[in-house]
């Protein structure tokens, strides 16, 4: 496992390193797996592999450049579709612009220390599949030629593909291509809901619903369309989930 930190403010970097060190202890790890950088180029040069056990905690504003962290995340994602990327920032307004990066979390620097460490810990937990899965619910899809078995808390949504009889499965970490039809997944799990003719969403991953624009925003900042007939049901599901 490798953890990379990008932060150009020394005080914020110290706080981030302390939080990471604190959370790593629960997994029997220490800071030997962590590398800290205040310059994006140095971070990119330090990456020697493209494995799924890499975690990147990135500030969005670096050296006065508002979106520098987003640019770095895009480079990381191009080279490694499996890495876990979390933005540690006060610029939450940039969330919708970063959906293509498939970030796992946006961690607000203004959080109190307990909440901040909790967010850091949940991110680190993603490279420990046995410990990280907080649910015993799984997404299981099996055919003669393909088997997919993933925790439901890794699934964002499924969507139609430009390729006939193919479906895209978007997880927190990567985009998968499945030879299937979207209709095959409508009843595969109770949390998967067909919000649109081209999308089936994991309702646990929805953080907000816009009834005016017929949209649902997911935890990674991505916005999915919702049909007029389904917007009420989606809103109801999200509301009831919080009770």
Q: How far are the Cα atoms of 60, 64, 170 from residue 94, in angstroms, in the given order?
A: 9, 15, 21
pLDDT in the model for residue 100: 59
3-state secondary structure the chain: CEEEEECCCHHHHHHHHHHHHHHHHHHCCCHHHEEEECCHHHHHHHCCCCCCCEEEEECCCECCECCHHHHHHHHHHHHCCCCEEEEEECCHHHHHHHHHHCCCEEEECCCCHHHHHHHHHHHHHHHCHHHHCCCCCEEEEECCCCEEEEEHHHEEEEEECCCCCEEEEEECCCEEEEECCHHHHCCCCCCEEEEECCEEEEHHHEEEEECCCCEEEECCCCEEECCCCCHHHHHHHHHHHCC
Tokens of 59: 């500030």
Q: Each residue of 5-57: pLDDT tens digit?
A: 999 999 999 999 999 999 998 888 888 999 999 999 999 999 988 777 899 99
pLDDT exceeds 50 at position 235? yes
| 35 neighbors 1 (Cβ within 8 angstroms) | no
Tokens of 177: 């291509």
240/218 Cα distance (integer angstroms):
17
Fold (CATH) for 138-241: OB fold (Dihydrolipoamide Acetyltransferase, E2P) (2.40.50)
The band of 175, judged by pLDDT with boundaries at 50, 70 and 90, is confident
Q: Note if the pTM is more than 0.75.
A: no
HSE of 210 in the Cβ direction (CA atoms, 13 Å)? Answer: 11
Burial of residue 28 (CB within 10 Å: 0-12, 13-18, 19+) is: exposed
Tokens of 17: 């390193």
The answer to whether 2-131 and 138-241 have equal CATH topology is no
Which of 4-18, 120-134, 149-163, 226-240 shows the lowest per-residue confidence on average (mean pLDDT)? 120-134
For 2-131, CATH number out of 3.90.1150.10, 3.40.50.2300, 3.40.50.300, 3.10.180.10 equals: 3.40.50.2300
Closest CA to 221 of 67, 99, 93: 99
pLDDT in the model for residue 50: 77
238/240 Cα distance (integer angstroms):
6
| 157 neighbors 138 (Cβ within 8 angstroms) | no
Which of 5-14, 93-102, 121-130, 217-226 shows the lowest per-residue confidence on average (mean pLDDT)? 93-102
Q: Each residue of 61-113: pLDDT tens digit?
A: 877 665 688 889 989 988 887 788 999 988 766 665 555 567 788 899 999 99
Q: Where are the domains of the chain?
A: 2-131, 138-241
Closest CA to 192 of 160, 163, 155: 155
| 180 neighbors 188 (Cβ within 8 angstroms) | no
Burial of residue 135 (CB within 10 Å: 0-12, 13-18, 19+) is: exposed
């Amino acid at each position: 496992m490798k953890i990379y930190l990008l932060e150009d403010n020394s005080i914020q970097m110290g706080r981030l390193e302390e939080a990471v060190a604190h959370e790593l202890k629960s997994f029997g790890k220490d800071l030997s797996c962590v590398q800290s950088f205040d310059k994006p180029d140095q971070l990119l040069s330090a990456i020697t592999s493209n494995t799924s056990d890499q975690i990147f905690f990135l500030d969005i504003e670096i050296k006065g450049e508002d979106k520098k962290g987003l640019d770095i995340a895009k480079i990381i994602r191009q080279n490694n579709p499996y890495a876990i990327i979390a933005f540690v920032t006060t610029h939450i307004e940039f969330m919708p612009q970063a959906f293509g990066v498939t970030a796992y979390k946006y961690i607000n620097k203004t959080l109190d220390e307990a909440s901040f460490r909790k967010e850091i810990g949940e991110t680190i937990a993603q490279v420990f599949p046995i410990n990280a899965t907080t649910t015993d619910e799984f997404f299981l899809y099996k055919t003669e030629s393909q088997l997919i078995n993933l925790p439901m808390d890794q699934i964002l949504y499924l969507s139609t593909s430009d390729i006939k009889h193919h479906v895209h499965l978007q997880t927190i970490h990567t985009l998968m291509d499945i030879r299937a039809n979207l209709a095959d997944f409508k009843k595969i799990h109770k949390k998967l809901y067909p919000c649109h003719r081209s999308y089936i969403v994991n309702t646990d991953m929805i953080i907000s619903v816009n009834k005016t624009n017929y949209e649902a925003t997911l935890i990674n900042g991505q916005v999915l369309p919702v049909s007029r007939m389904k917007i009420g049901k989606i809103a109801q599901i999200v509301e009831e989930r919080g009770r």
